[in-house]
Amino acid sequence: MNESRTTREARHPEPDAGVGPARVLARLALLCLAGAVAAVVAGTGHILILLLGLAGLGLAGAGLWWALAHRGLARLLGAALAITAPVGVLVLYAVSGLWVVAVVALAAWTAALGCARSALRRLRKPHGMHTRAVRPPRRAVLIMNPRSGGGKVGRFGLVERAEALGARVILLDLDTDPDPVALARQAVAEGADLLGVAGGDGTQALVAGVAAEHGLPFMVVTAGTRNHFAMDLGLDRDDPVSSLEALSNGVELRVDLGDISGRPFVNTASFGTYAHIVQSPDYRDAKAATALDQLPDLLTGDAGAALNARTDDEALEAPQAVLVSNNPYARADPLTGGRRERLDTGALGVIAVRVGGAVQAAELALLGERASGITTLTSRSVVVESDEESIPVAVDGEALTLPPPVVCTVRPSALRVRVPRHRPGAPYVAPTVDWYRVLRLAFDRSPYGHEKHDRAAAARHHDQNQEQRDV
């Protein structure tokens, strides 16, 4: 199937298309940044107090580390420091009369960040994944977990609504420990032409693997708790009924599928600290208490398997935690609501964390995801190794143990996903501000340099692959 040049340009806009407004915002960002610096300079008479303010933030980070990595009195003292250090900074600023400078500097810095992010977004606004029109399925089979999401299947009447649209529904009997993979394979053998899941991301991944294996379209009904995969597909997580529109008025996406030692995953595979914690049988009922009980031994290396990881281009030595995602996250915070801008880049996202003590914890508090203890990159494969016979892994929230080396790969465009034609879309996540790029954008006509050529070549390659699949 051939596409017109206009259609291609709409899907892959040239980066210069939004340079004009973006350049204005970039210059405004630099102006606000200069205002923040000027406010700080104006308070140079109180330079010691300014430095004490930064030290207070660092102490808060160190206190948080002690609270998490220790027990008993050290934990109490750490928690107290994490709370009192910021409060002490505020009191110090108020007493010294420096609070006006601090407020002005903070306001200017906040405005600078907002303008910079808006400039970068306008310069290259993420475009949606390619969709194609499809006919409604004739023998759709939906596997539903009646307990998922606190009973959304029953609360929203999903069984009756799906059957009214011609789908066959299989309810999981959780008392018999059902196997979603076996149920999906049986449905395929009986002639299913679409497989769908109303349940958690773990169940979705298993059934998605069967759909990809047989080249069948896959459908997500937002009946889970977090619905992370559904969010990145642009589905309405608050209205599971709207997902069923894909049965009658749907379009199809081609997305990537992660693979961990032969098991599919749609979101993430986690190693290290988080993976150890979710292995505990008490985690489901008492997440915070279980984490606080286990973190001291995990963070100090007294428990858990020592890990090493290799990507295509880099070795990660002894990380405390490694998160491998099916396509990279926009920012290094997937556990706090981050999202992936695309699910069809053909790459894994990798976030590795190594905090060796209070000093690095303080750095993390000051620099966030730019701290030296956090590594973010992309790769086609990730190999996680350990001297242990098996290592804990959390795959789409499910607790597993796997023998090392554990190999994670990505299967580009392996999954055909059926989604409603009309859906709200995924929420925008502001990009991490790169001030060097903002500076080039403000004063240089080629803010991306050679990247423009690289993206054009990548777009042509994507188009060629898409045309071959459409044919």
pLDDT tens digits along 369-389: 777 778 889 999 999 999 889
Amino acid at 304: G
Q: Minimum mean pLDDT among 77-81, 132-136, 259-263, 427-431: which range? A: 427-431
pLDDT of residue 431: 64
Of 412, 425, 421, the residue nearest 462 (C-alpha): 412
Structure-block tokens of residue 142: 């939906």
Q: Is the pLDDT of residue 222 over 80?
A: yes
What is the Cα 35 distance to its own chain's centre?
A: 33
pLDDT of residue 463: 46
pLDDT of residue 414: 96
Angle at 108 between CA 103 and CA 110, to 5 degrees: 95
pTM: 0.75
- Tell me the domains of the chain and their CATH numbers: 15-127+434-444 (no CATH), 131-262+414-420 (3.40.50.10330), 268-411 (2.60.200.40)
pLDDT of residue 364: 67
Q: Is the pLDDT of residue 314 over 80?
A: yes
Of 301, 340, 338, the residue nearest 321 (C-alpha): 301
Contact 324, 408 (CB under 8 A): yes
Long-range contacts of 35-44 (CB under 8 A, 24+ apart): 35/104, 35/108, 35/111, 35/112, 36/104, 36/105, 36/106, 36/108, 36/109, 36/112, 39/101, 39/104, 39/105, 39/108, 40/101, 40/105, 42/101, 43/98, 43/101, 43/102, 43/105
pLDDT tens digits along 101-148: 778 888 888 898 888 888 887 765 556 678 899 999 999 999 999 988
pLDDT tens digits along 149-177: 889 999 999 999 999 999 999 999 877 77
Query: CA distances (Å), 436 to each of 109, 288, 442, in order?
Result: 16, 39, 10
pLDDT of residue 9: 35
Position 442 confidence tier, pLDDT thresholds 50, 70, 90: confident
Tokens 């310069």 -> residue: 123
129 vs 44, higher pLDDT = 129
